[in-house]
Amino acid sequence: MSTLVEIRNVSKTYERGKQKVEVLHHIDLNIAQGDFLALMGPSGSGKTTLLNLIGGLDSPTQGQISVGGTRIDNLNQGALAKWRASNVGFIFQFYNLLPMLSAQKNVELPLLLTKLGAAQRKKNAAIALQLVGLAERAGHKPTELSGGQQQRVAIARAIVSDPTLLVCDEPTGDLDRQSAEDVLGLLQTLNRQHGKTIVMVTHDPKAAEYATHTLHLDKGALVEAAAHA
């Protein structure tokens, strides 16, 4: 399997006033194309920080990150935004849908940044909603959907522009067991059937079981752990 994400000697330092805090220390990591990686670790260990670097939401203080052969550690904000639009899908713990828009319009959002016409955008969004099993809820507002359904809409939004990489920050952290399993099953399907590479931060060992690998992060450094079958 080829490597999709290559992380070389990456450190991240935050400045809190005059105090500098290094939250990631010299991380080296390869993520293979088609991998489903679970990232675990105690609170404050730097999971979100690492995930944000992989997804191009933030840039490292030191080191190199390349995704699909593109160096993203030295891109400026504008270039990163463009890169994210076509390469990464994001899924958050609290779904982060726009409350005023219907499920359909939420899913269409990333397509507004493409050259697709209105009809094509509508069609693609409908397909994505169908894939997550919510075709009949297209016209519903987020407040009219359960947490699990909202998260599935968020997944539809993440995959609608067909990115190679999905990054998920505790996607089941706010869900009950059943909804969590639905969401995890869906992610697994996306990984297995559609070849999406997934990096998922989670606190839940059961959630991590859906992944192909699990990595542990502690105090800003990686701790290797056994891979699942």
Ligand X SMILES: Nc1ncnc2c1ncn2[C@@H]1O[C@H](COP(=O)(O)OP(=O)(O)OP(=O)(O)O)[C@@H](O)[C@H]1O
Among residues 45, 48, 106, 124, which is the contact residue for Mg ion, using CB under 5 A? 48
Does residue number 133 form part of the binding site for ligand X (CB under 6 A)?
Answer: no
Among residues 94, 87, 54, the alpha carbon closest in space to that of 73 is found at 54
Could you count the other beta carbons within 10 Å of the beta carbon of residue 48? Answer: 18
Cα separation, 53 vs 28, in Å, equals 13
Cα separation, 124 vs 104, in Å, equals 10
Among residues 55, 56, 59, 43, the alpha carbon closest in space to that of 10 is found at 59
Does residue number 23 form part of the binding site for ligand X (CB under 6 A)?
Answer: yes
Does residue number 205 form part of the binding site for ligand X (CB under 6 A)?
Answer: no
Instruction: Give me the least distance between CB of 21 and ligand X, in Å please.
Output: 6
Q: Percentages helix, strand, coil for the chain, rounded to the nearest 5?
A: 35, 30, 35
Cα separation, 221 vs 112, in Å, equals 38
Stretch in the footprint of Mg ion (CB under 5 A) among 16-24, 44-52, 108-116, 191-199: 44-52
Give ∠ CA 25-30-36 in degrees, rounded to 5. 110
Cα separation, 75 vs 55, in Å, equals 13
Q: Which partner, Mg ion, another protein, ligand X, none, binds residue 58 by CB below 5 to 8 Å per kind?
A: another protein
Tokens representing residue 173 in the block: 């952290």
Among residues 49, 102, 150, 191, which is the contact residue for ligand X, using CB under 6 A? 49
- The letter for the amino acid at 3 is T
Stretch in the footprint of another protein (CB under 8 A) among 25-33, 36-44, 106-114, 171-179: 106-114
Instruction: Give me the least distance between CB of 145 and ligand X, in Å please.
Output: 25
Instruction: Give me the least distance between CB of 202 and ligand X, in Å please.
Output: 9
Among residues 9, 70, 74, 86, which is the contact residue for another protein, using CB under 8 A? 86
Residues in contact with ligand X, counted by CB under 6 A, come to a total of: 12
Does residue number 104 form part of the binding site for ligand X (CB under 6 A)?
Answer: no
Cβ proximity to ligand X, 42 vs 195, nearer residue: 42
Using CB under 6 A as the criterion, which residues of the chain lie in contact with ligand X when the complex forms? 14, 16, 21, 23, 41, 43-49
